[in-house]
Amino acid sequence: MDGLGNGQGNTPADGITRVGVVGCGQMGAGIAEVCARAGLDVRVAETTGEALELGRTRLVNSLGRAVERGKATAAQRDAALERLSFTTDLGEFADRDLVVEAVVENEQVKTEIFHVLDQVVTRPDAILASNTSAIPLVNLAVATSRPAQVLGVHFFNPAQVQRLVELVPALTTSEETVERAERLVTEVLGKHAIRAQDRSGFVVNGLLVPYLLSAVRMFEAGAASRDDIDRGMELGCAHPQGPLKLADLIGLDTVASIAESMYQEHKEPLYAPPPLLLRMVAAGHLGRKSGAGFYAYP
């Protein structure tokens, strides 16, 4: 099965049929789409009506592109849309079996959301998950009264296509919670799950981000041009995208945030975000999502 799910209404894992997604940006919309395509009832929350409409449009357009590319039928698209609902009130997540938080990489913001979810989600066995790339899961878990049911469920961008999901238990997370999440990810969503320790960067970003930062430093130092750095890794190492193109796709603010989190935890100089990266973020040059990064996106 591809990363879009099979759209046939797979058998629910451990009674997880109702999913909530907090945030409908690029990642939140992708996670919501994957879950809806897999036959789950999905409710998406955003902070404002305007943000919610942008997220709804993002989902509709993505499902439309899946039909255009032959990855889904029109019937599957329509069925997925029927399974999606939208709200600006987290109180409407009371009946959710699983809630995935997918907002900005800011620990304070995420902690506040988990505190609210703990109060409003009434199902005693509900799982509260975060799609964080680097923030310690234990810090989110202890903001709730159910730390055994909190873990990281880290999808990769674009979630509709990328097959990997990192499962990141905190020190407080029960094995039952991890196993339930793993069955959902693999048996219902059709993804491949790996387990990672609750350390900044987890597995993939722990390896990937230092590589991206090295490419930024090489460009910043004038050791090679932007195009030659990317072309070198694409043609010399068979990477599908060069590191600067990939950083633009991920979002330069996200790369900087992960790097800062890793540096704060490990104090390894190679993890510190380079000055050029920080200045690009300050200028609002965030990559594809802002229209400008190391490359221009009209």
Q: What is the Rg, in whole angstroms, of the alpha carbon atoms belonging to the chain?
A: 19
The arithmetic mean of pLDDT across residues 256-267, rounded, is 93
Query: What are the tens digits of pLDDT across the range 147-172?
Result: 999 999 999 988 999 999 999 999 99
Q: How many helices (H) and strands (E) does the chain have?
A: 11, 8
Confidence band of 109 (pLDDT split at 50, 70, 90): very high
Query: What are the tens digits of pLDDT across the range 191-229?
Result: 999 999 999 999 999 999 999 999 999 999 999 999 999
295 touches 286 (CB < 8 A)? no
Task: Phi first, then psi: give them for residue 203, nearest 5 degrees.
Answer: -90, -60
Confidence band of 13 (pLDDT split at 50, 70, 90): low
**133 belongs to the catalytic site:** yes
Residue 3: the pLDDT is: 39
Query: Going from the N-terminus, what domains does the chain have, and what CATH number goes with each?
Result: 18-195 (3.40.50.720), 205-290 (1.10.1040.10)
Confidence band of 4 (pLDDT split at 50, 70, 90): very low
**130 belongs to the catalytic site:** no
- DSSP state at residue 140: H
- DSSP state at residue 143: T
Confidence band of 105 (pLDDT split at 50, 70, 90): confident
- Spot the catalytic one: 33, 105, 166, 182: 166
- DSSP state at residue 273: P
Residue 2 clears pLDDT 70, i.e. is over it? no
- Spot the catalytic one: 10, 133, 200, 257: 133
- Spot the catalytic one: 205, 257, 261, 285: 205
Task: Phi first, then psi: give them for residue 215, nearest 5 degrees.
Answer: -65, -40
The arithmetic mean of pLDDT across residues 256-266, rounded, is 93
Query: What are the tens digits of pLDDT across the range 40-87?
Result: 999 999 999 999 999 999 999 999 999 999 999 999 999 999 999 999
The arithmetic mean of pLDDT across residues 172-182, rounded, is 97
- Spot the catalytic one: 10, 101, 130, 154: 154
Please report where in the chains the tokens 């973020």 appear, as a residue.
281
